[in-house]
Amino acid sequence: MAEKIGADTSYICVKALEKGVNIIGVTRGEVTKIHHTEKLDQGEVLIAQFTENTSAMKIRGKAEVYTQFGMIRAGEVDIEKK
């Protein structure tokens, strides 16, 4: 079955800040499963799209993730000491 993808489908852009950043695509439905993985080296960029099958993406490693909502840094922990 061909997947219907429209221009209004959400995209993200991931820029690796270190070698070995993993992007993991997760399926939607009653049982979620990993259906795709990519590994990026430092400086590489991946543009990914949410589809009828892809409901979530997990990013492991230091990376900048650009979305329609702005930029998020993955792999960094901001802990405020009180």
Report pTM. 0.77
Rounded Cα distance between 34 and 36, Å, is 6
**What does the pLDDT read at residue 32?**
82
* Least confident among 12-16, 17-21, 55-59, 78-82: 78-82
Q: Are 21 and 39 in contact (CB under 8 A)?
A: yes
pLDDT score of 1 more than 50: no
**pLDDT recorded at residue 73:** 94
CA dihedral 34, 53, 45, 38 (to 10 degrees): 20
Domain 18-73: CATH class, spelled out? mainly beta
